[in-house]
Amino acid sequence: MGLFGSKSKTLVGLDIGSGAVKVCELQAVGKGSSQRYRLQKLGVAPVPPEAIVDGDIMDSNAVASAIRQVLAEQKIKSKDVAIAVSGQQVMVKKVTFPLMSPAELSESVRWEAESFFPAGQGLDSYALDYAVLEERASEGNMDVVLVACRKDKLESYASCVAQAGARPVVVDVDVFALQNAYEVNSTPGSSDEVVALVNMGANFTNLAILVGNKSVFWRDIAWGGHRFTDKLVEDWGVSPEAAEMLKQGQSAEGRSPEEVAPSLAAIADTFADELSRTIDFFRSSFKVDRLDRVLLAGGSAKVAGLTDVLSDRLRVSVERMNPFLLIEFDDRSVDPAAARDIGCSATVAVGLALRQVGDR
């Protein structure tokens, strides 16, 4: 099973997160440039605390149970799913090679990958895949994205999905699924517009930066929404469950959103520092002197006041991503209000549901 897959078939998107499992099923309508998508199924089920820690599955029974629950609740018949991985054991790198044949490229990728891995680890410990992004015949070269993931991490996710009764046909990377969801919901913009896509999960934040319609920078940041939860528990003595409600602007356990706002703002400010440093690194490395807008996705993007803090610090428009902006709803099987409530939390699941076996 490769990281990018092999034959053409629509899949169910299954996003396995530290806090929840999200599932999405789309139907393609029309063909070619007029093709659009209709949301058929969308659901979410909680994952127990500590079942997934730092992106590693610690309790496969609990995670498999959450997957079975959400698939059953949504009455999803297809067993073929696309899942995604991210975190410290997943590496993404863009490399420019001279133009060469597929066979030559396969060999060159393996040589390049040897410099990819941490000291003391090699190709035997990792699943490696790649895809050609662009060929430039006039320049005699090509851009290729390399992806490597620890085999034990890949196998633990695949095994957990199989335990739940589904078939993990494609394994994607969170940051690529994020980009897929953005592209299907976007209208053509400026050819040089610089957009940062930020997917904030419980433990990791995925960042993709696009210049025009090209993704040029990817990074996983070891910073997640659990820090907001921990801060509220520490400062206000509330339970983690109450902290989750307060994060999203709801009163809980005698505390109001206005009361805890300073604690949320303090953590949002530290995240703004982390994100700003990563964006500055991108700017200096790629000689890009501006950022036009930031779109936030993931469950933690819903933290009250976060968009305002980031907009102030980054001095750019910051909005929550709507993964259903240009996607129709099947009113027979999808509650529009429930879909809007899940909102940006479903971005990766939507991106995965766009995948087909055989995509590169």
Q: How many domains does the chain have?
A: 1
Q: pLDDT value at position 1? A: 42
Q: How far apart are CA 273 and CA 319, in angstroms?
A: 18
Maximum Cα–Cα distance across the chain: 66
Q: pLDDT value at position 8? A: 47
Contact 21, 67 (CB under 8 A): yes
Q: What is the pLDDT of residues 104-133, one digit of tens each?
A: 999 999 888 887 777 667 788 899 999 999
- Residue 314's CATH number: 3.30.420.40
Domain that holds residue 275: 186-321
In a domain, 210, yes or no: yes
In a domain, 208, yes or no: yes
Q: pLDDT value at position 359? A: 62
In a domain, 103, yes or no: no
Q: pLDDT value at position 116? A: 76
In a domain, 22, yes or no: no
Mean of per-residue pLDDT scores for the chain:
91
pLDDT < 50 stretches in the chain: 1-2, 4-8
DSSP string, 251-301: -BTTB-HHHHHHHHHHHHHHHHHHHHHHHHHHHHHHT-----EEEEESGGG
- The SS3 of residue 7 is coil
In this structure, which amino acid lies at residue 218? W
Q: Which two tokens stand for residue 102?
A: 């597929």
Q: pLDDT value at position 331? A: 84
Contact 21, 45 (CB under 8 A): yes
Supply the pTM of this predicted model.
0.92
In a domain, 23, yes or no: no
In a domain, 353, yes or no: no
Residue 348, CA distances (Å) to 38, 177, 201, 268 in order = 16, 5, 10, 22
Q: pLDDT value at position 9? A: 66
For 73, phi then psi, to 5°, come to -60, -35
Q: pLDDT value at position 31? A: 81
Q: pLDDT value at position 30? A: 83
In a domain, 212, yes or no: yes
Q: pLDDT value at position 357? A: 73
DSSP string, 146-194: EEEEEHHHHHHHHHHHHHTT-EEEEEEEHHHHHHHHHHHT-----TT-E
In a domain, 211, yes or no: yes
